[in-house]
């Protein structure tokens, strides 16, 4: 028995005979519309693996990434899950729960050691030994390390996994970090976004299915084909930016006309994602097309780049609202006033000294 | 006479990290005690503190990506309530469409992809005869399609586009695929489940095959239901909003407008598809399965719903100028706000308590406790109204095992990251079932004159009662009832979608294209201090966000979430929460394979990231 | 050694002077175009100002083009100025932090500027100013690095993109790059205000010819500057240079 959970093993688990196993194989052969001669091949297949095994873990997350994955149109999520990979462990979709599910996890990571792909959704809380996220009675960080040890590659799905995400925003009450801050030693593919675009998520697997290898990555570990450019450099509103045509407020004439959202805080100029070119739902829309600036949801630490409606954040100075430009202008004003005052004082001082203590100056070398 | 303590952790096919522990009497199958624990906490209420209230929707939206949007809506409403912002008509209709879209899609995906495998098995499907499955499919469509509908002001779909396929070859093909998966030995998401549990024999193999076929079919189609989110909010999960309305400006004179006729067509098509998928797949499948279970006597799991259900009401038909001031509740299409006690004794003995306006500001009416939760309150305080709410983690570890390796949790001490929400000091169940019981009771008792939607609720309940030939009390208050009502609600929301789409178009036709009110956009126009409440009926039940704003920043933020109500730990004063009560009310045949428990809990559609946040 | 007379010292090479003024001009242009880029506005308070800006040919595209052109000039000037630092001893400005004397002189100057000391020792290049120039070079460096990070990432695959993307990772994300670029722009302007004042002050209060020195290269001091050795190979050559010119035009004592 070289594979786990093969049909044969299932039969064994249920205490069923080899005979009934072979009978079932014959039935399946018929079902598949194959000639009875193929029966031996079916029997062999029933004992063998063929699809890349994927383990999908959930840490500190909101499951939006899982949902996004399911929304993929090309390839369809069903084609991915049923035909490109074998998702052997995913607490969002798996039928099994509890003890047998955990048992299955252990078997899978042993049996496929060094071969499976580990997909992780969610950040890793470290505070108090990781007890802020417990899975099967153990800290998620422990489970993660266990699964990562035998992973052929790790995919960090979503900004939580890739950067720490929402829970790691200030003050990060659970001390959550990115997956790659905890595990290493193998290729890690970052697929950030909150959530990432569905087709970007599945395309990582599609690439693997098509070419048998992980997609080329940029210096941060993101697939270049999806995170290679800034949204700003691919945005359909860019001509308006270049022409200086901006929505000044939501729902003003510029907003209706679909002008650039720069002045209402768009983070497109600093955000690497495929929203501008691919868009969501195979080209249907993306936040900017729907009238809201990008909030930079695929960027490291983007949550702490708030407020989202300002290009320059307000700087907290007791109960006033000021950004770098107001503060800069004031500071420059103060500097000007300061030097003028200093100049005046210097003149007065010098005048006084010249009148009273000429000898002192004489004494100096 | 041995009582066995069984742990289910992780509970799969849910959102988040849930652990269940039950004590089962192995001889009788009775669950003597049950414990529900949320095992992860992120502290999002603390993370939004000190931030700009206009950004809050985006942060708290990430409480959950399954019921995406709902926390954004609740947050916007809370901030707008605090700042006294009334959103334009179009924005109100669009937000209602966002909400109804979410409900319909969430319910559908829940039934097929998070719940169905409690009832049907791919292995059983292998035994089905494809030709008989065709007959079954046709019979199901005849018998279980609920011929109800809401107002369809604008009907552009010439005919229903989406029917279940009912050909032998179709079912044969699906069966072959399932066979292939099984034969490959890589069961993937189907691996290692209790497929040999006897309950999988309750349904004929053909039901299994039909349902598995739809499982796959709708896995591919569910994405198309959220067209409205992608058009109006730019993406899904986590569409974008703004305080004061919607960001998606409407224009028919500009080529780049976020909303124009073509964009509206996408929304319309998506809404129509939703109606069809629910009418021709979801409801018939659900009722066919439910009918068999009910006929075979599976009507347990009612739990807390028999005693007390709670709702806040939703779908402001027109813009309102506040929630805590009571205006919101005056404008609702679905007035599921209130509490119904004792529905288990029958409609006649059911008692209704209203819940509106200032009630949401009253610490005697709504509060949260932490008696069994891993939080601490200042000495001597056992309850806090959310405006004064405190979230301070205090982890104490399990009863048996170590702090970071559990054997059993401590039901006598603290054991969950959920707080315990209370209505007048008592626990209550929330969710589709609660909403239906409340509206049904209010209409039947003449407390309200029903709107079309409320009337549809009553009609749905009554027609299902006819199909099942049982009075509502006998099937509603059960695991099956909980799941059936979710399906009914999906249908209702699909039509609410259509209804608000028509209202939106009509209003635009009248010349009003405003989607945002920005007079109070600048913080300089805000009061120095303000507090607000935002209510929403999320897919899983009544959701409330409470915000306190000081000097244009969030000074306190608290959310009481549907799954917090349902999955909360017990409380000496409030009693059991809905999960625990429902588990105690469920019979378990094989202690080591508590499939019934999984089914009962899945019927609530757990969302634990929501619950703990 | 003092004779109460102003003596001329040739300090700044033409090289330094040319690039100083190039830097001044480009920084001024960068600052104002940068502010516009950060918040595209146009005269008028409300509404769709930048549209009018566009019709006035002041589009984002143009302003950014000017900003980038000035940025290239600044960087070239900066690099060439550093080159001057290497080849012309007189152009060296690196403060000698490691010497006790440097700190003593700094104290001397500070006390003077705090109006606690009537006058300071004569310097060719005042140590406090030298530190501030090093500081402002640092700021200009930050502007160049952050600015070019934003600039080159239009083509992240390019060699520039690949190199500068490290800045993005280092500073967490590109939004912080933009913020730092914006904040530091203000710091440079604040430096400029104080710097110009100091130059003017030196001219008027101490008649050192600070301003004209940036044009002519020559400073006038009444006493022999204490840092002469650091700046010039031999003091005589400095004086002689002036002497040669001055001999013909005016009588000269000393
Ligand atoms: C030295 C080379 C410099 C380069 C390559 C450079 C480049 C850039 C770039 C690419 C931007 C962003 C433009 C956009 O988003 O379209 C920018 C913005 C800006 N630059 Fe520079 N810059 C340089 C130096 C300076 C200097 C010296 C100053 C001021 C003293 C300055 C002030 C600004 C300001 C205020 C902004 C607006 C920042 C924002 O809000 O994004 N820059 N610069
Ligand atoms: C009235 C205008 C100005 C005058 C008379 C002036 C004069 C001078 C002088 C005398 C020095 C001393 C050089 C040394 O001791 O090494 C200097 C250095 C410097 N100035 Fe200015 N300056 C003026 C305006 C500006 C402005 C507006 C800026 C830009 C913000 C600027 C940037 C610099 C820098 C960066 C240095 C140090 C670099 C070096 O030594 O070449 N200056 N300036
Ligand atoms: N409980 C819950 Fe939610 C819902 N529905 C939110 O409010 O699931 Ni994530
Ligand atoms: S990245 Fe965003 S969508 Fe994904 S799990 Fe984290 S919060 Fe949810
Ligand atoms: S909308 Fe945003 S991303 Fe698009 S051009 Fe404007 S600033 Fe750039
Ligand atoms: S917010 Fe996220 S979805 Fe795209 S447009 Fe911005 S990266
Ligand atoms: Mg809460």
DSSP string for residues in B526-557: S-SEEEEEEEEEETTEEEEEEEEEETTEEEEE
Q: Is the predicted pLDDT of residue C250 greater than 70, yes or no?
A: no
Same domain, A185 and A64: yes
pTM of the entire structure? 0.93
Residue A28 domain flag: no
pLDDT band at A29 (very low <50, low <70, confident <90, very high): low
Q: Cβ–Cβ of A70/B189 closer than 8 Å?
A: no
| Average pLDDT rounded to a whole number, residues B171-192 | 93
Residue A25 sits at the chain B interface (C-beta within 8 Å): yes
Structural domain that includes position A109: 51-205+214-224
Q: Cβ–Cβ of A63/B246 closer than 8 Å?
A: no
| Average pLDDT rounded to a whole number, residues B145-156 | 91
Residue A153 sits at the chain B interface (C-beta within 8 Å): no
**Intra-chain end-to-end CA distance of chain A, in Å:** 98
Residue A16 domain flag: no
CA distances from A324 to A310, C140, C187 (A): 11, 18, 11
Same domain, A179 and A291: no
Q: Is the predicted pLDDT of residue C56 greater than 70, yes or no?
A: no
**Which one of A230, A276, A298 would you pick to mutate in the ligand 6 pocket, going by the greatest count of ligand atoms within 8 A of its CB?**
A298
| Average pLDDT rounded to a whole number, residues C8-23 | 86
Long-range CB pairs of A328-334, under 8 A, 24+ apart, other chains included: A328/C183, A328/C185, A328/C186, A328/C189, A328/C190, A331/C186, A331/C190, A332/C186, A332/C189, A332/C190, A332/C193
Peptide bond into B99 cis (omega under 30): no
Residue A286 sits at the chain B interface (C-beta within 8 Å): yes
Structure tokens, B233: 């909010």
A63-86 per-residue burial string, b: 16 or more CB within 10 A, e: under 16: bbbbbbbbbbeebbbbbbbbebbb
Q: Please write down the HEC assignment for all residues of chain C.
A: CCCCCCEEEECCCHHHHHHHHHHHHHHHHHHHHHHHHHCCCCCCCCCCHHHHHHHCCCCHHHHHHHHHHHHHHHHHHHHHHHHHHHHCHHHCCCCCCCCHHHHHHHHHHHHHHCCCCCCCCCCCCCHHHHHHHHHHHHHHHHHHHHHHHHHHCCCCCCHHHHHHHHHHHHCCCHHHHHHHHHHHHHHHHHHHHHHHHHHHHHHHHHCCCHHHHHHHCEEEECCCCCCHHHHCCCHHHHHHHHHHHHHHHCCCCC
How many domains are contained in chain A?
Answer: 3
- Whole-number Å distance, alpha carbon A326 to ligand 7 midpoint, is 37
Average pLDDT, chain C: 83
Q: Is the predicted pLDDT of residue A4 greater than 70, yes or no?
A: no
Residues with CB under 6 A from ligand 2: C 16, 20, 23-24, 27, 81, 93, 125, 129, 133, 136, 188, 192, 195-196, 199, 210-211, 213-214
What CA–CA distance (Å, rounded) separates B198 from B6?
19
What CA–CA distance (Å, rounded) separates A351 from A157?
72
Q: Are B309 and B339 in contact (CB under 8 A)?
A: yes
pLDDT of residue A35: 61
pLDDT of residue B1: 60
Q: Is the predicted pLDDT of residue C3 greater than 50, yes or no?
A: no
Q: Is the CB of B47 under 6 A from ligand 4?
A: no
Residue A249 domain flag: yes
| Average pLDDT rounded to a whole number, residues C117-124 | 84
Ligand 3 atom closest to the CA of B543, numbered from 1: 7
Residue B47 sits at the chain A interface (C-beta within 8 Å): yes
Chain C partners within 8 Å of A193 (Cβ): none
Q: Is the CB of A65 under 6 A from ligand 4?
A: yes
Q: Which of A189, A224, A259 is at the close of a domain?
A: A224
**Which one of B15, B45, B62, B67 would you pick to mutate in the ligand 3 pocket, going by the greatest count of ligand atoms within 8 A of its CB?**
B67
pLDDT band at C237 (very low <50, low <70, confident <90, very high): very low
Structure tokens, B91: 């924005």
Higher per-residue confidence, C252 vs B67:
B67
Q: Are A68 and A54 in contact (CB under 8 A)?
A: no
What CA–CA distance (Å, rounded) separates B350 from B441?
8
Q: Which residues contact A357 (CB under 8 A, 6 or more apart)?
A: C118
Q: Is the predicted pLDDT of residue B83 greater than 90, yes or no?
A: yes
Residue A146 domain flag: yes
Q: Report phi then psi at B187, rounded to 5.
A: -75, -10
Q: Is the predicted pLDDT of residue C86 greater than 90, yes or no?
A: no
- Whole-number Å distance, alpha carbon A160 to ligand 4 midpoint, is 6
**Measured between CA atoms, how close is C54 to chain A, in angstroms?**
6
**Measured between CA atoms, how close is B574 to chain A, in angstroms?**
26
In terms of CA atoms, which chain B residue is nearest residue A16? B196
Residue B450 sits at the chain A interface (C-beta within 8 Å): no
pLDDT of residue A15: 64
- Whole-number Å distance, alpha carbon C53 to ligand 1 midpoint, is 20
Structure tokens, A222: 């993101």
Chain A partners within 8 Å of B266 (Cβ): 284
What CA–CA distance (Å, rounded) separates B231 from B254?
16
Residue A1 domain flag: no
CA distances from B84 to B80, B241, B442, B519, B522 (A): 6, 18, 30, 11, 13
In terms of CA atoms, which chain C residue is nearest residue A311? C38
Ligand nearest to the CA of B44: 7
Report H helices in B24-146.
44-47, 56-61, 70-83, 89-109, 122-125, 130-144
- Whole-number Å distance, alpha carbon B186 to ligand 4 midpoint, is 29
Q: Cβ–Cβ of A92/B175 closer than 8 Å?
A: no
Ligand 4 atom closest to the CA of A63, numbered from 1: 5
Q: Cβ–Cβ of A251/B401 closer than 8 Å?
A: no
Least confident of A84-98, A174-188, B2-16, C77-91: C77-91
What CA–CA distance (Å, rounded) separates A277 from B508?
31
What CA–CA distance (Å, rounded) separates B308 from B287?
25
The residues facing B31 across adjacent strands are B24
Same domain, A183 and A316: no
Higher per-residue confidence, C10 vs B268:
B268
Same domain, A185 and A256: no
**Measured between CA atoms, how close is B105 to chain A, in angstroms?**
11
- Whole-number Å distance, alpha carbon A300 to ligand 7 midpoint, is 27
In terms of CA atoms, which chain A residue is nearest residue B42? A167
Same domain, A295 and A340: no
- Whole-number Å distance, alpha carbon A324 to ligand 2 midpoint, is 25
Structure tokens, B417: 């990251």
DSSP B84: T
CA distances from B454 to B98, B443, B489, B542 (A): 20, 8, 11, 17
In terms of CA atoms, which chain C residue is nearest residue A265? C39
Beta-carbon pairs below 8 A across chains A and C: 144
| Average pLDDT rounded to a whole number, residues A74-82 | 94
Same domain, A81 and A111: yes
pLDDT of residue B383: 97
Distance of CA B377 to the CA centre of its chain: 29
| Average pLDDT rounded to a whole number, residues B194-201 | 96
Higher per-residue confidence, A66 vs C240:
A66
Chains in contact with A, where contact requires at least 3 CB pairs less than 8 Å apart: B, C
Residue A305 domain flag: yes
**Measured between CA atoms, how close is C248 to chain A, in angstroms?**
30
Average pLDDT, chain A: 89
Q: Cβ–Cβ of A251/B249 closer than 8 Å?
A: yes
Q: Which residue has the tokens 């209420």?
A: B45
Among the partner-chain residues C119, C185, C190, the one whose CB lies closest to the CB of A364 is C119
pLDDT of residue A28: 65
Interface test with A, best of B16, B65, B267, B613 (most A CBs within 10 A): B65
Ligand 5 atom closest to the CA of A267, numbered from 1: 2
Same domain, A271 and A182: no
Q: Cβ–Cβ of A248/C156 closer than 8 Å?
A: no
Same domain, A96 and A183: yes
Residue A207 sits at the chain B interface (C-beta within 8 Å): no
Same domain, A148 and A269: no
Cα angle at A53 between A75 and A184, to 5 degrees?
A: 100
| Average pLDDT rounded to a whole number, residues B131-158 | 94
Q: Where are the domains of chain C?
A: 7-248
How many other C-beta atoms lie within 10 A of the C-beta of residue A123? 33
Q: Cβ–Cβ of A91/B12 closer than 8 Å?
A: yes
- Whole-number Å distance, alpha carbon A219 to ligand 1 midpoint, is 24
Q: Is the CB of C108 under 6 A from ligand 1?
A: no
Q: Is the predicted pLDDT of residue A23 greater than 90, yes or no?
A: no
Q: Are A290 and B240 in contact (CB under 8 A)?
A: yes
pLDDT of residue C70: 98
pLDDT band at A2 (very low <50, low <70, confident <90, very high): very low
Q: Are A232 and A241 in contact (CB under 8 A)?
A: yes
What CA–CA distance (Å, rounded) separates A181 from A163?
9
pLDDT band at A41 (very low <50, low <70, confident <90, very high): low
CA distances from A2 to A9, A87, A361, B185 (A): 10, 18, 98, 11
**Which one of A231, A299, A309, A310 would you pick to mutate in the ligand 5 pocket, going by the greatest count of ligand atoms within 8 A of its CB?**
A231
Same domain, A175 and A120: yes
% pLDDT > 90, chain B: 97
Among the partner-chain residues A242, A271, A365, the one whose CB lies closest to the CB of C59 is A242
Least confident of B10-14, B20-24, B257-261, C101-105: C101-105
3 state SS of B38: strand
Same domain, A248 and A311: yes
3 state SS of B416: strand
Nearest CA to ligand 6 atom 6: A294
Same domain, A79 and A163: yes
Structure tokens, A110: 């042993």
Instruction: Please give the CATH number for the structural domain made up of C7-248.
Output: 1.20.950.20
CATH number, residue A148 = 3.40.50.700
| Average pLDDT rounded to a whole number, residues C20-37 | 95
Structure tokens, B143: 């018998």
pLDDT band at C14 (very low <50, low <70, confident <90, very high): confident
- Whole-number Å distance, alpha carbon B561 to ligand 3 midpoint, is 6
| ipTM field | 0.94
Q: Is the predicted pLDDT of residue C248 greater than 60, yes or no?
A: no
Q: Is the predicted pLDDT of residue A248 greater than 50, yes or no?
A: yes
How many other C-beta atoms lie within 10 A of the C-beta of residue A53? 23
């Amino acid at each position: 028995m070289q594979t786990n959970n093969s049909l044969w093993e299932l039969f064994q688990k249920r205490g069923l005979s080899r005979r009934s196993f072979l009978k079932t194989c014959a039935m399946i052969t018929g079902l598949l519309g194959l000639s009875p001669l193929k029966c031996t091949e079916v029997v062999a297949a029933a004992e063998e693996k063929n699809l890349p095994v994927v383990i999908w873990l959930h840490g500190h997350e909101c499951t939006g990434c899982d949902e996004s994955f399911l929304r993929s149109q090309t390839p369809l999520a069903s084609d991915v899950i049923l035909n490109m990979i074998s998702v052997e462990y995913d607490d969002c979709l798996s039928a099994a729960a509890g003890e047998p599910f955990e048992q299955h996890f252990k078997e899978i990571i042993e049996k496929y050691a060094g071969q499976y792909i580990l997909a992780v959704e969610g950040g890793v809380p470290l505070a108090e030994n990781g007890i802020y996220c417990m899975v099967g009675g153990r800290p998620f960080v422990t489970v993660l390390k266990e699964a990562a040890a035998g992973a052929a590659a790790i995919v960090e799905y979503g900004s939580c996994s890739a950067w720490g995400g929402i829970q790691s925003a200030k003050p990060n009450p659970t001390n959550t970090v990115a997956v790659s801050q905890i595990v290493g030693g193998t290729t890690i593919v970052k697929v950030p976004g909150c959530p990432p675009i569905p087709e970007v998520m599945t395309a990582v697997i599609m690439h693997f299915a098509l070419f048998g290898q992980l997609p080329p990555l940029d210096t941060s570990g993101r697939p270049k084909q999806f995170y290679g450019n800034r949204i700003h450099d691919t945005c359909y509103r860019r001509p308006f930016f270049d022409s200086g045509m901006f929505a000044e407020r939501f729902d003003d004439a510029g907003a209706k006309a679909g002008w650039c959202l720069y002045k209402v805080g768009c983070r497109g100029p600093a955000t690497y994602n495929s929203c501008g070119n691919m868009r969501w739902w195979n080209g249907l829309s993306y936040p900017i097309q729907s009238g809201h600036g990008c909030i930079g949801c695929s960027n490291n630490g983007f949550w702490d780049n708030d407020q989202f409606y300002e290009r320059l954040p307000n700087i907290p100075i007791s109960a006033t609202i000021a950004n770098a430009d107001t503060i800069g202008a004031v500071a420059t004003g103060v500097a000007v006033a300061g030097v003028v005052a200093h100049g005046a004082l210097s003149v007065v001082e010098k005048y006084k000294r010249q009148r009273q203590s000429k000898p002192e100056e004489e004494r100096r070398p | 006479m041995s009582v066995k303590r069984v742990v289910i952790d992780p509970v799969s096919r849910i959102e988040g990290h849930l652990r269940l522990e039950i004590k089962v009497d192995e001889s009788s199958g009775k669950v003597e005690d049950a414990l529900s624990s949320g095992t992860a906490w992120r502290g999002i209420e603390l993370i939004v503190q000190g931030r700009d209230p206009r950004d809050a929707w985006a942060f708290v939206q990430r409480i959950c990506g399954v019921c995406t949007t709902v926390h954004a809506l609740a947050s916007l409403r809370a901030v707008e309530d605090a700042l006294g912002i009334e959103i334009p008509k179009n924005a109100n209709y669009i937000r209602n469409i966002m909400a109804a879209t979410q409900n319909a899609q969430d319910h559908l995906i829940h039934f097929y992809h998070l719940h169905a495998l409690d009832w049907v098995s791919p292995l059983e499907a292998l035994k089905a005869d494809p030709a008989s499955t065709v007959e079954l499919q046709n019979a199901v469509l005849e018998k279980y399609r609920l011929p109800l509908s809401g107002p369809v002001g604008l009907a552009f779909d010439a005919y229903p586009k989406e029917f279940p396929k009912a050909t032998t070859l179709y079912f044969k093909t699906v069966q072959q695929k399932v066979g292939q998966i099984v034969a490959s030995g890589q069961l993937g998401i189907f691996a290692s489940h209790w497929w040999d549990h006897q309950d999988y024999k309750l349904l004929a193999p053909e039901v299994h095959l039909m349902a598995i076929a739809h499982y796959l079919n709708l896995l591919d189609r569910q994405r198309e239901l959220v067209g409205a989110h992608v058009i109006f909010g730019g993406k899904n999960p986590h569409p974008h909003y703004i305080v004061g309305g919607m960001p998606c400006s409407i224009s028919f004179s500009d080529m780049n407008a976020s909303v124009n006729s073509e964009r509206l067509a996408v929304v319309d098509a998506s809404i129509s598809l939703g109606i069809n998928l629910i009418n021709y797949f979801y409801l018939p499948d659900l009722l066919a399965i439910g009918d068999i279970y009910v006929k075979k006597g599976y009507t347990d799991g009612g739990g807390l719903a028999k005693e007390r259900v709670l709702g806040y009401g939703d779908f402001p038909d027109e813009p309102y100028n506040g929630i805590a001031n009571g205006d919101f509740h005056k404008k609702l299409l679905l007035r599921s706000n209130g509490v119904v006690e004792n529905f288990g004794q029958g409609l006649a003995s059911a008692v209704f308590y209203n819940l509106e306006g200032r009630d949401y500001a009253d610490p005697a009416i709504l509060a949260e406790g932490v008696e069994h939760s891993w939080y601490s309150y200042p000495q001597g305080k056992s309850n806090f109204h959310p405006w004064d709410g405190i979230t301070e983690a205090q982890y104490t570890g399990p009863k048996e095992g170590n702090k970071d390796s559990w054997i059993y949790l401590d039901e006598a001490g603290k054991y969950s990251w959920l707080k315990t929400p209370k209505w007048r000091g008592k626990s209550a169940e929330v969710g589709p079932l609660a909403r239906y019981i409340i509206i049904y009771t209010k209409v039947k008792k003449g407390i309200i004159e029903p709107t079309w939607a409320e009337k549809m609720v009553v009609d749905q309940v009554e027609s299902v009662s006819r199909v099942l030939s049982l009075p509502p009390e006998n099937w509603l208050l059960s695991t099956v009832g909980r799941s059936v009502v979710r399906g009914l609600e999906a249908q209702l929301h699909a039509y609410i979608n259509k209804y608000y789409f028509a209202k939106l178009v009509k209003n635009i036709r009248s010349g009003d294209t405003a989607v945002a009110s920005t007079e109070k956009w600048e913080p300089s126009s805000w009061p120095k201090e303000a507090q607000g409440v935002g209510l929403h009926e999320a897919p899983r039940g009544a959701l409330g966000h409470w915000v306190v704003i000081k000097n244009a920043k969030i000074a306190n933020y608290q959310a009481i979430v549907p799954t917090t109500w349902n999955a909360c730990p017990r409380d000496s004063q409030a009693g059991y929460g809905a999960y625990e009560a429902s588990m105690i009310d469920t019979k378990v045949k094989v202690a080591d394979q508590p499939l019934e428990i999984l089914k009962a809990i899945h019927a609530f559609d757990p969302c634990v990231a929501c619950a703990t946040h | 050694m003092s004779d109460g007379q102003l003596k001329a010292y040739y300090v700044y090479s033409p090289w330094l002077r040319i690039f100083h003024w190039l830097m001044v001009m480009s920084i001024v242009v960068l600052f104002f175009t940068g502010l516009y880029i950060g918040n595209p506005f146009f005269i008028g308070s409300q509404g769709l100002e930048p549209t009018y800006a566009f019709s006035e040919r002041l589009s984002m595209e143009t302003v950014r083009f000017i900003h980038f052109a000035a940025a290239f000039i600044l960087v070239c000037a900066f690099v060439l100025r550093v080159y001057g630092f290497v080849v012309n001893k007189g152009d060296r400005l690196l403060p000698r932090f490691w010497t006790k004397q440097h700190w003593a002189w700094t104290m001397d100057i500070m006390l003077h500027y705090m109006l606690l000391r009537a006058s300071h020792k004569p310097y060719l290049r005042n140590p406090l100013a030298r530190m501030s120039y090093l500081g402002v070079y640092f700021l200009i460096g930050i502007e160049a690095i952050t600015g070019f990070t934003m600039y080159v990432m239009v083509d992240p695959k390019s060699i520039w993109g690949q190199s500068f993307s490290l800045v993005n990772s280092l500073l967490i994300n590109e939004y912080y790059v933009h913020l730092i670029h914006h904040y530091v722009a203000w710091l440079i302007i604040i430096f400029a205000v104080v710097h110009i004042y100091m130059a003017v002050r030196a001219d008027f209060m101490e008649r050192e010819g600070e301003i004209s020195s940036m044009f002519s290269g020559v400073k006038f001091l009444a006493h022999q500057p204490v840092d002469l050795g650091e700046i010039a190979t031999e003091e005589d050559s400095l004086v002689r240079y002036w002497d040669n010119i001055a001999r013909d035009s005016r009588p000269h004592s000393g």
